[in-house]
Chain A
């Protein structure tokens, strides 16, 4: 039997054993346990196909997208220390983020990251399409991916209002007009004119889906707060859950993209 080193003594301590539940990775069982028992490694599959790690095949776009999403989460949380979502403060807080705060580039990282994430999501989907990786049994995950694309665009869109400058206000005024055209739910959409009994209009500008989005008929301070909540809490939560489902399906459907 080999002589015990310092590392072996450390591995036998109560503290070490309470954190790492497996023995040293000297046999196949423990090597698997190292991956399965580590929360970060566990997000990764235990085995990867050789083609899955070839850059020329995957472009790494899905991984980059996830990395950018994490970066946006971190920078977004940091921005929340300074940004106040009210008409009085919002614009000045964005200026302050640039001029009064150390590492003022943080806000730009968040903004550029948003642009970059939209680009990488598109390229990721382009790659998945061109390599035929959306085909059965992966068709469900393609569907999840499409929803994630829409949510990515919605995250960009909801973030656009937050600086509360002319560009933002008018862009959201234009964008929220799309909600007005929702079939049956928006007062300018198809079907809304049918929902009328005599003079009583059931779908009007004070109860349709656009009103719900803006908390009013026009883009104003309540809309700023709602878009802030959607941007910082609501959509990221849904995205987080769907990303988990997305990765889980990648593993269940035969691993990262490769011919099955």
Chain B
């Protein structure tokens, strides 16, 4: 081989360069696609916090308290010496039921699911009781509700001490 031909590519080398080129191009495209995918997940969202301080236990009377319903989607229900944070998401399809004080029940307007005051379903298509959120006292003695921890009746989780406050 002459000195000149060493500098030039032979056919085999040319195709290996093509392969490297295609791999680089494909991975660049894949990288851009994954960036576009990441783009659809905002870094900040302006929805209500998943945990909140709900005042002192003494702020609540027996019965259903609706003060956190609009902001956080939580009913505070106090009865039989227990205070619980009840989710206001219907377990049928995810609508928001209403508290009917006269009938002492939660009633979903969409398909008529009904729940007792303690959250257990008794009428309509709802397959299981409403969920409870984690409830605890912070060092100041205020109630802290953590919606990222869910307690389900049908899994026996309502016995967990984190799912209610003894008051």
Say whether A170 contacts B40, CB under 8 Å: no
B71 within 8 A of A: no
Say whether A207 contacts B41, CB under 8 Å: yes
Q: Which residues of B contact A236 (CB under 8 A)?
A: none
Q: What mask results when residues 185 to 222 of chain A are scored 1 for a CB within 8 Å of chain B, else 0?
A: 00000000000000000001001000110011110101
B10 within 8 A of A: no
Report if A173-B95 is in contact (Cβ < 8 Å); known contacts: A217-B47, A220-B47: yes
Say whether A215 contacts B110, CB under 8 Å: no
Q: What mask results when residues 70 to 108 of chain B are scored 1 for a CB within 8 Å of chain A, else 0?
A: 000000000000000000000001110000000000000
Give the total number of A-B pairs whose CB atoms are below 8 A apart. 27
Say whether B41 contacts A211, CB under 8 Å: yes
**Of all chain A residues, which has the CB nearest B47?**
A216
Q: How far does the alpha carbon of A207 sit from the alpha carbon of B40 in the complex, in Å? A: 11
What distance in Å separates the Cβ of B126 from its nearest Cβ neighbour in chain A? 13
List 18 additional A-B contacts (Cβ < 8 Å) besides A216-B47, A217-B45. Answer: A170-B95, A170-B110, A173-B93, A173-B95, A174-B93, A174-B94, A174-B110, A177-B94, A207-B41, A211-B41, A212-B40, A212-B41, A215-B40, A215-B42, A215-B45, A220-B47, A222-B42, A222-B45
B residues sitting closer than 8 Å to A (CB atoms) are 40-42, 45, 47, 93-95, 110, 148
What are 19 of the A-B contact pairs (CB < 8 Å)?
A: A170-B95, A170-B110, A173-B93, A173-B94, A173-B95, A174-B94, A174-B95, A174-B110, A177-B93, A204-B148, A212-B40, A215-B42, A216-B45, A216-B47, A217-B45, A217-B47, A218-B47, A222-B42, A222-B45
